[in-house]
Structure 1
Amino acid sequence: MTSVELEIILKAGKILLSSGAEISRTEDTMNYIARAMNFKDLEAYVSNRGIFATAKKADGTEITRICNVPEVDINLSKIESVNALSRRVTQKNITIEEIESELNQIDTMSDYSFFWRLVAYTLGASGFSYAIGSSITDSIIAGIIGLILGVYMCTIKRILNSDVLITILGSILIALFGNLFIHFNIGSNLSVILLGAMIDIVPGVPFVNAIREYSQNNYNTGITLMMGALLTCISMAVGVAVVQS
């Protein structure tokens, strides 16, 4: 194994982790690519924020690489693209140069546009509010608040780096606008409006990944993900409590 080939395997793992993939999927994909390249001496340890990998060269010397994943931004398109690439690699109909080129293309793949993010925030809030029993009016209000939240979430990360503070301020924004709509007699049920809008910042992916890690006996990573998700939920509660009090 050469350092270039190890970098390719690490890059695939980093793209998966930074896009929100679970640890087990990342490890499996890295191992699939390594086996497809006829490597039997790859040892990789994957955590939710980094990858540690060691491999042996043909002359017996070892190569060690550490890959840091400082931020996770959910992108299912990148996860699916890397998975599709790994399937092609196992079929052995692609060269190392092609693998490296495609990984670079996936890594630089454009994220979801600002417009579609706002559409997702709006429909998510409105649809969930209606699903839990709100009226058409209340679900529309929840969608409007979700739209406002979407604008906030898409712009605030350029200013703040603290996820806890971002979540608290987002929850304050939701509760503030929800109470304003009720105050002006636009809407009737504050609870379903707030619940509908709050679904947009519920840490669903960390919860699901934490459960998957527990099922794979990765307890340390599972606890880390679960604690992060619980901290997000606490931050949401703090924001709403500040406004309601």
Structure 2
Amino acid sequence: MDALEAVVEAGLAMLTSGAEVSRVEDTMVRLAQAYRIEPVDVVAMPTALFVAGPDGRSLVKRVRRRSVNLAVVAEINQLSRDVAKNPIPLNEFREQLEKAKQRAIYPPWSSILFAAGAAGLISQLMGGHLVDVLPAAVSGGLTQLTRRTLFKTQIPGSLSDLLSAAVATLPALFLARFHTFQPGAILVGGIMVLTPGLLFTTAVRDGITGDLVSAVSRLLEALLIGGAVAAGASLPLYIYLHLGGRWP
């Protein structure tokens, strides 16, 4: 791996971890200048990365799977600024880059725990009773577990969100027969874990910085996720009601 390839790997890691394209391009340009790769042109989009280096050399990287890991984004972002001020040998940069790519503030199980806690609290904001906290937490935990499991497979992202939303409805449907619970609050608490809030925010930031292609594509992705979540939650509910199930 030469210097240009290392720079591309850094940008690719940021892009797949949820960074806005302006930050990705700025980071790559800083690194390229630090290693005297000039002239260099970088075009980043949510699904692809294009880099044109000196002597007519160009690299294209396809982005097929994306997640959210702001720890990786922050780590590589800081690494690029340190290298820009004080360039380090390329081998050392590669080692630090690999460490940054594996950076995770929280272990995998904690995301499930946080999702469960958030779902339980959201159920109260939606008018649920105190007894709805636990089933809503179960719904949120199951939703996050399903999404993490499906992310490791080849299932498309929209279908993964649809199936995760379907799983989120199960505690609410099971408890709908009891008058003590508010199944609507439980259901909303569970599916709120899937809302693409950060993706929508990134789309707005891309639009503000003038990266309109990225902004539109991220916005469309957010709308598709919202549609998949709505469909995933509606289908089990429709079947349940069609079979004569009780819903307050």
Does the alignment reach a TM-score above 0.5? yes
What RMSD over aligned residues (CA atoms) do the two structures have, in Å? 2.1
Q: Which runs of 5+ in 1 are unaligned?
A: none
Q: Which runs of 5+ in 2 are unaligned?
A: 239-248
Which of the numbers 189, 196, 201 marks the counterpart of 1:208?
Answer: 201
- Show the counterpart of 2:172: 178
Q: Is structure 2 residue 239 aligned with structure 1 residue 241?
A: no
Which of the numbers 225, 232, 236 marks the counterpart of 1:232?
Answer: 225
Query: Larger deviation: 234-243 or 155-164?
Result: 155-164
Which of the numbers 10, 13, 16 marks the counterpart of 1:15?
Answer: 13
| Distance apart, 1:97 and its partner CA | 2.2
Q: Is structure 2 residue 116 aligned with structure 1 residue 122?
A: yes
Q: Is structure 2 residue 89 aligned with structure 1 residue 98?
A: no
**Alpha-carbon distance in structure 2 between the residues aligned to 1:93 and 1:35:** 10
Which of the numbers 176, 183, 186 marks the counterpart of 1:190?
Answer: 183
| Distance apart, 1:94 and its partner CA | 2.6
Structure 2 length-normalised TM: 0.87
Relative to structure 1, is the Cα distance of residues 80 and 110 closer, same or farther in structure 2, using a 3 angstrom cutoff? closer
Relative to structure 1, is the Cα distance of residues 207 and 6 closer, same or farther in structure 2, using a 3 angstrom cutoff? same
Relative to structure 1, is the Cα distance of residues 90 and 131 closer, same or farther in structure 2, using a 3 angstrom cutoff? farther
Query: Larger deviation: 101-110 or 25-34?
Result: 101-110
Q: Deviations over 1:121-165 (max 9, x none)?
A: 212212322344433222222111111222222223345512222
Which of the numbers 13, 16, 34 marks the counterpart of 1:36?
Answer: 34
**Alpha-carbon distance in structure 1 between the residues aligned to 2:170 and 2:162:** 12
For residue 65 of structure 1, what is the amino acid of its counterpart? L
**Alpha-carbon distance in structure 2 between the residues aligned to 1:173 and 1:183:** 18
Secondary structure of the corresponding residue to residue 97 of structure 2? helix
CA contact (8 A) 1:160 1:166 kept: no
Query: Larger deviation: 47-56 or 87-96?
Result: 87-96
Structure 1 length-normalised TM: 0.88
- Show the counterpart of 2:83: 89
Which of the numbers 68, 77, 80 marks the counterpart of 1:74?
Answer: 68
For residue 92 of structure 1, what is the amino acid of its counterpart? N
**Alpha-carbon distance in structure 1 between the residues aligned to 2:205 and 2:16:** 17
CA contact (8 A) 1:210 1:221 kept: yes
Secondary structure of the corresponding residue to residue 20 of structure 1? coil
Paired residue total: 238
Query: Larger deviation: 5-14 or 170-179?
Result: 170-179
> Alignment identity in percent?
23
For residue 158 of structure 2, what is the amino acid of its counterpart? V
Query: Larger deviation: 124-133 or 5-14?
Result: 124-133
CA contact (8 A) 1:46 1:52 kept: yes
Secondary structure of the corresponding residue to residue 183 of structure 1? coil
- Show the counterpart of 2:4: 6
**Alpha-carbon distance in structure 1 between the residues aligned to 2:87 and 2:166:** 53
Secondary structure of the corresponding residue to residue 7 of structure 1? helix
**Alpha-carbon distance in structure 2 between the residues aligned to 1:185 and 1:159:** 39
- Show the counterpart of 2:242: none
- Show the counterpart of 1:141: 135
Secondary structure of the corresponding residue to residue 231 of structure 1? helix
**Alpha-carbon distance in structure 1 between the residues aligned to 2:154 and 2:39:** 42
